[in-house]
Chains A and B, each alone.
Chain A
Amino acid sequence: MLAKRLIPCLDVADGRVKKGVNFVDLTDVGDPIEIAAAYQQQGADELVFLDITATNEHRKTMADLVERVSRQVFMPLTIGGGIQSVADMQRLLRAGADKTAINSAAVAHPELISAGAQKFGNQCIVVAIDTAWDEQQQRYRVYTHGGQQATDLDALTWAQRCVELGAGELLVTSMDRDGTKRGFDDRLYQALGRVVNVPIIASGGAGKLADFTDVFTQTPVDGALAASVFHYGELTISDVKQALRTEGVPVR
């Protein structure tokens, strides 16, 4: 049986790892390679690097970073942030990434999903979706550009469309929960699990052990992503895995 995955997310700006709380207030927490090696040691199942500056210059820096990390760290690496084209994906995959995550560019140009999937295989294409509950419309609405631009897209419909186009995995962030430490948006992941059949990674809201056991026992997600709780040592990967094991959740 496949193990459920714990995925630390490293937000990268200027070659350093940052964590934005609710997408603002950056705090420096260190060197990407050292952190990646430490997470491998701790038993993280995968790492996500997000380029949060995402200019052309930074994209090149990101490929260099992936190249260096993949010489020292032997685990699946997903890279996202500012990927605009198949050429961007190719550069990152060649540098040593296993998957590339696209977000705003996928909304603007959905054909990028299918082009990437055809060239590299579905397993290389992760679509990242930022969403928040719209109380008035009673639905989850998709946001782009780091959560700053609202779209008319319904998150569940968009998720299905992404999968039809060839997304091999969905990384879905609840903006309502991101940075709050109030737990994952379990209702969102339950709803997603009913409409798509590719791996779903939950993101946003991790604060305590029970948040992880809840999302893995109450929803069909395959992985849970977190940043600050891991970066600041509030929870360790092994604490979380022990708690999951106790609940009968398969972990590595």
Chain B
Amino acid sequence: MFAIVDYDTGNTLNLQKALAYLNVPTTLTADPAVLANADAVLLPGVGAFGAAMAALEQRQLVQPLQALARSGKPMLGICLGMQLLFETGLEYGQHAGLGLLQGRVVPLPTDRGVKVPQMGWNQNQLQRVNSPFAAIDQQYTYFVHSFYADCPAEEVVASVHHGVAVPSIVQRGNVVGMQFHPEKSGRVGLAQLESFRKMVVTNDASSN
């Protein structure tokens, strides 16, 4: 069972539909005990960084999520959910993130001849060869965002170019983030969710 963090931030239903299509059972929950018992925790999110962190705090989920990540629980942040994995967000002020990955979330530059938000299909360049997500290389995925992760290269699995190099997949051990929407990226996106599932199964096998 994959637990999707329910904190009232945007469309979790399409993510559930994609996982249902892959025959992965999901539950939508804000209960730390349910999150702790799940095989993996998925953190979706649409909207602004500060508001999303406030919503997690209000539900007293910040510390449980940090503790679960540090205990080795596989975790996947998607779109804004990926951005929340970092230390700081600079959207409408400065906000602390979950701090599971090094880096900060900053606005996409508007002076590079590209439109902001980045909205559409962009081509991934693999940056980390030995990755469970390596099949992303050269594939297009669907993005909708105005901020991006400015982070050390060691966190980055793949990136796309949109005025600047935009990390599209980040990973540190059990903590993974996807800036694009795998649930809206056709078979490539479904394959990436499948890769995450394989990572979860492998993680489970190695911890037993």
Residues of A within 8 A of B (CB): 1-3, 5, 40, 45, 70-72, 74-76, 93-94, 96, 98, 121-123, 168-169, 197-199, 222-223, 250, 252
CB within 8 Å of A: which of B161-208?
161-162, 183-187, 189-190
Closest chain B residue to A2 by CB distance? B120
Interface size on B, residues (CB 8 A): 30
**A168 contacts across to B, CB distance below 8 A:** 117, 119
Q: List 9 A-B contacts (CB under 8 A).
A: A2-B114, A71-B17, A74-B14, A74-B21, A74-B189, A96-B17, A121-B46, A199-B115, A223-B120
Are A74 and B119 also in contact (CB < 8 A) when A96-B14, A252-B140 are? no
Closest chain A residue to B185 by CB distance? A74
Given contacts A2-B122, A3-B123, A71-B20, 16 further A-B contacts (CB under 8 A): A2-B120, A70-B13, A72-B21, A74-B187, A74-B189, A75-B142, A75-B186, A96-B13, A96-B14, A123-B144, A168-B119, A169-B119, A199-B115, A199-B120, A222-B115, A252-B140
Tell me, rounded to whole Å, the shortest Cβ–Cβ distance linking A82 to chain B. Answer: 22
**A2 contacts across to B, CB distance below 8 A:** 114-115, 118-122, 162
Complex CA gap A223/B46 in Å reads 24
**A3 contacts across to B, CB distance below 8 A:** 120-123, 140
Say yes or no: A93 contacts B11, CB within 8 Å.
Answer: yes
Tell me, rounded to whole Å, the shortest Cβ–Cβ distance linking B22 to chain A. Answer: 10
Say yes or no: A74 contacts B190, CB within 8 Å.
Answer: yes
**A123 contacts across to B, CB distance below 8 A:** 117, 119, 144
**A198 contacts across to B, CB distance below 8 A:** 115
Closest chain B residue to A123 by CB distance? B144
Closest chain B residue to A40 by CB distance? B186
Say yes or no: B184 contacts A74, CB within 8 Å.
Answer: yes
Closest chain B residue to A72 by CB distance? B21
Indicate if B72 sits at the interface (CB-CB under 8 A). no
Tell me, rounded to whole Å, the shortest Cβ–Cβ distance linking B121 to chain A. Answer: 4
Say yes or no: A5 contacts B120, CB within 8 Å.
Answer: yes
Tell me, rounded to whole Å, the shortest Cβ–Cβ distance linking B186 to chain A. Answer: 5
Closest chain B residue to A198 by CB distance? B115
**A222 contacts across to B, CB distance below 8 A:** 115, 120
Instruction: Tell me which of A1, A76, A169, A199 contacts B184 (CB under 8 A).
Output: A76
Indicate if B28 sits at the interface (CB-CB under 8 A). no
Indicate if B47 sits at the interface (CB-CB under 8 A). yes
Say yes or no: B115 contacts A70, CB within 8 Å.
Answer: no
Q: Mark contacts of B103-119 with chain A using CB atoms, 8 A cut-off: 1 yes-contact digit, 0 otherwise.
A: 00000000000110111
Say yes or no: A71 contacts B21, CB within 8 Å.
Answer: yes
Say yes or no: A76 contacts B122, CB within 8 Å.
Answer: no
Say yes or no: A70 contacts B17, CB within 8 Å.
Answer: yes
Are A1 and B17 also in contact (CB < 8 A) when A123-B117, A168-B117, A199-B120 are? no
Say yes or no: A45 contacts B121, CB within 8 Å.
Answer: yes
**A252 contacts across to B, CB distance below 8 A:** 121, 123, 140
Complex CA gap A250/B11 in Å reads 29
**B190 contacts across to A, CB distance below 8 A:** 74
Indicate if B34 sits at the interface (CB-CB under 8 A). no
**A199 contacts across to B, CB distance below 8 A:** 115, 119-120
Complex CA gap A172/B185 in Å reads 25
Indicate if B38 sits at the interface (CB-CB under 8 A). no
Complex CA gap A60/B11 in Å reads 19
Tell me, rounded to whole Å, the shortest Cβ–Cβ distance linking A97 to chain B. Answer: 9
Indicate if B18 sits at the interface (CB-CB under 8 A). yes
**B18 contacts across to A, CB distance below 8 A:** 74
**A45 contacts across to B, CB distance below 8 A:** 120-121
Complex CA gap A161/B21 in Å reads 41
Closest chain A residue to B18 by CB distance? A74
